[in-house]
Every structure is written in structure tokens, then in C-alpha cells.
Structure 1
């Protein structure tokens, strides 16, 4: 078992949000495009899950982009916004997540 913690309110000029994005996208092409877009925001932690520590502005930008990447009749995307302090407990194979600035090109 491995744990990691975050605090979005630590000494920072810009307050950050911890987000968890999970998705079920039926079409392979849309799913790959969605995953590529998510790589610009955070880290893939499972096949259909990304975690990110981003600013409020990037969060709003992400929410605006998602509807253009999916088919509302067959796909599902959930974005969980978490503020403050938190903890993640990992079991099994996992990759260490580092809090770093993500630059979207």
C-alpha cells in the first residue's frame, strides 16, 4: 500500500484545485483524443482516470472543452473537484504522482 497527500491551500500565489477525471468513452478515436487532451492537464493514474492539480482558470477551461470531445448520447465523463487537504490510498501497482506545474501547449 502507498499513500500520498495534497493540500491545495499551501503557500501558493494561485490556489490550486485537485481534480479527478474519470471517463467511459465508447469510440476509440474519441477516447484517444480525450486521453491526449487530459495528458495536458494531469497524470493518467488508471486506464480511464486522470488526476491533476490545476488552477481555477484551467479547471474552467477543461470543463468548457469536454463537451466538444465526447458524444453526449454514449459517453460519460465525471470531473471531481476537491479543495483543501486530502489523501489517496493506493493498492497494487501504482505510479508515484508528483505535484508539478503542467504546461498546456
Structure 2
């Protein structure tokens, strides 16, 4: 078992949000495009799940972009915005999680 913790309330010049994005997109082409877009925000933790530590403005940008990328009749996307301190418990195979700055070009 591996655990990692975060605290978005730490005194930083820019406060960040911990965001979990889980999706089920039917069309392969749209799903690939969606996952490429999410790579610009955070990192993949499972086949259809991404985690990110982003600013409020990047969060708003992400929320604005999602509706245009999916079929609202067939697809499902859930975005969890988490503030404060938290903990994730990992069981089984998992990638090593590092706290790094994500830059979108």
C-alpha cells in the first residue's frame, strides 16, 4: 500500500485545488483527444482517471472546455474539486506520484 497527502491550504503565493477527473467516453477518437487535453492539466492515475493540482483559473478553464469535447447524450465526465487537506490510499499497481508544477503550452 502506498499513501500520499496534499494540502491546498498551505501558505503559497497561489492557492491550488486538488482535482480528480473521471470519465467514460464512448468514441475512441474523442476519448483520446480528451485524455491528451487532461495530460496538460495533470497526470493519469488509471485508464479513465486523472489527478491534478491546479489553480482556480485553470480549473475554470477546464470546466469550460469539457462540454465541447464530449457527446452529452452518450458520455460521462465527473470532476471532483477538493480543497484543504486530504489523503489518497493506493492499493495494487500504481505509478509513483510526485508533486510537480504542470505547465500548459
Q: Could you say whether these structures have the same fold, taking a TM-score greater than 0.5 normalized by the shorter chain as the test?
A: yes
Q: 1:11 Cα shift? A: 2.3
Q: 1:39 Cα shift? A: 0.1
Q: Distance in 1 between matches of 2:20 and 2:3?
A: 16
SS, match of residue 77 in structure 1: strand
| Residues 33-57 of structure 1: CA deviation (Å, up to 9, x unaligned) | 0000000000000000000000000
Q: 1:60 Cα shift? A: 0.0
Root-mean-square deviation (Å): 0.5
Tell me if 1:44 matches 2:38: no
- 2:60 corresponds to: 60
User: 4-13 vs 16-25, which deviates more?
Assistant: 4-13
SS, match of residue 93 in structure 1: coil
Gaps of at least 5 residues in structure 1 are: none
TM-score (norm 1): 0.98
List aligned pairs for 1:83-98, cutoff 5 A: 83-98=83-98
TM-score (norm 2): 0.98
Gaps of at least 5 residues in structure 2 are: none
Q: 1:26 Cα shift? A: 0.2
